[in-house]
Structure 1
Amino acid sequence: MNRTTTLWRPTGPEELALVEASGWTAWPPRLPEQPIFYPVLNEDYAVRIARDWNVPASGVGYVTRFEVESEFLERYPVRQAGGETILELWVPAEELDEFNAHIVGRIEVVREFR
């Protein structure tokens, strides 16, 4: 069995509705102004974005958790977007379908902020 890596993604209600429509198995295509998909490497960072950015922007913020095949993720270097624990992957929008194909199991909502 392939090893997996746990990733988190803070998201708002519109994106979450599209994830739900996929059967909780895929992230929706990026919008033209979103050339990169940014999953994050720890729950604390995802919580901060969901609470401090998604809630003011749309009234609710969700933290999702999902597993991706670790070997596949090796192509994406870990990016430090601020402090020591502000870690994310940068997945180009054109690679998102392939990224989705390497998700193992379902995308799940683990936190909700209003």
Structure 2
Amino acid sequence: MPDQPIFYPVTTFAYAEKIARDWNSVLPAPNNEGFVTRFEINAATAARYPVQQAGGRDHEELWVPAEELETFNDGIVGRIEVVAVYRDGKLVEKYTEK
């Protein structure tokens, strides 16, 4: 989001699902959708952004300063895949997990 100072990709499907379902998809229309995506990053990028705990032990995420987003994106390996879509707090579509 443009007003956030960090990009915080999360490390588990369960946490990503909670954010997409419980926070993003319950916003007023037309912003009432939440997406869970999956991607991998290379070892150098992973080392640059250590895992942080955000509130609970199951809430692990990376904290990437907004000004470093281009560098982070360069560390993505392969494709970014949408693995689940939520609308109005409900699952619309879930794709096969690896």
Deviation at 1:34, TM superposition (A): 1.2
Aligned to 1:52: 22
CA distance in 1, matches of 2:32, 2:71: 31
Question: What's the RMSD between the two structures over aligned residues?
Answer: 1.1
Give the percent of matched residue pairs that are identical in Structure 1 and Structure 2. Answer: 58
Residue aligning to 1:110: 83
CA distance in 2, matches of 1:109, 1:38: 17
Q: How does 1:7-26 map to 2 (within 5 A)?
A: none
The higher radius of gyration belongs to 2
More helix by share: 1
How far does residue 101 in structure 1 lie from its aligned partner after superposition?
0.7
1:42 aligns with 2:42: no
Indicate the SS of the match to 1:40.
coil
Q: Secondary structure at the match of 1:74?
A: helix
Query: SS at the partner of 1:41?
Result: coil
**Counterparts of 1:39 and 1:109, CA distance in 2:** 14
- How many residue pairs are counted as aligned between the two chains? 84
The runs of at least 4 aligned residues of structure 1 exceeding 2 Å deviation read: none
Query: How far apart are residue 76 of structure 1 and its match?
Result: 1.3
1:59 CA displacement = 1.5
Q: Residues 59-78 of structure 1: matches in 2 within 5 Å?
A: 59-78=32-51
SS state of the match for residue 26, structure 2? helix
| Unaligned ranges ≥5, structure 1 | 1-29
* Segment drifting more, 91-100 vs 74-83: 74-83
Cα deviations across residues 17-63 of structure 1 (Å, max 9, x unaligned)? xxxxxxxxxxxxx52x2110000010100000000011112211110
Distance apart, 1:81 and its partner CA: 0.5
Matched residue of 2:78: which SS?
strand
